[in-house]
Structure 1
């Protein structure tokens, strides 16, 4: 009798543990579906509506007591500005679906990730995620980027990128940047000014577009040439059509 009772208790305990595990798995799956649903909703939403802020912009606003940020549509930005950021950050932007495999292979061969992150990936990071080099963020970025590429147009990706990128401490978006550095609206940016703004993007807190150092001058000259090249060879067609 004692053995039977003990065996019965063991079975009940095992059944209880199994039921608990199933409940935990179901709850985790439900949570995952909710997260995916919310994410898809925001991807669809921002395909049409402008993001009012970003996680990083919000964080900097709290730290600095405010930031300079004013949204401007792509139609009111000098075309050379869009070409400049593509030439500087992602020359094959029109030809990939979110990941530049050739750039990734080169980066692996060189032992770094410089040049491997596309404008699509950077836009996803800026709009939906946080800054940092954690594996969790990179995994989320890799998962979200194809979704954004599938839903947003290339023009929309460029428009959002230019409006949320950091150009100086507390200065976000091309409208604020053009006024901050050159005192002009984005539509009036010259090829040289656009190239300098694109040149400071990798390190906006340590570089200046209006008072460039030797490296920024050299880099901006390369970007200006690159912007003219992609205009001629068709690599700007997807966001200028």
Structure 2
């Protein structure tokens, strides 16, 4: 019986990995962990109240986004304060950068946590930040963006789900991964020219013209809802 359950769990992990790899090849990032969390039997954690002076709220003001209660019992949502043209990059999905080993210990329960993991967890709890694992994006190369901590994450964490290709424009943005080059200073200089570092970033791009007052929604992908 245990072997059968382990085999089912392993097949689900493989299936989720293939879905994420498919989406990355299309340049579209996808949530990757909620199904894994449910599979190992962790209870659903109530979402904490996010203070309005957190970076997640303040970044919304800067990008012309308003955080308001959304319909349908979805909690808070992100709404456009002004019209947005199709193809516009409206925000970057930022947060804490975690390695796969850190995710396995802190969210998936696949590895025993060390003192750094315990310190991380205590910090989240002390600041009333969630530890659900519902805000992770797999960026490839065993790197994840975790936007659950509102003190270090952008407003994009508030964007809710909408089904794509349902005959409406409710799913009006897409999460796209891009490689960004940044010049390194200090010791990493060769021949008088700074070396460049390539990192993967995640941006929200408008799929349609979006009117002011419209909720910003995107497709969470199948692995987010997988049970």
Scaled to the shorter chain, the TM-score interval is under 0.3
Structure with higher helix content = 1
Name the TM-score, length of structure 1 as normaliser.
Answer: 0.21
Structure with higher strand content = 2
Name the TM-score, length of structure 2 as normaliser.
Answer: 0.22
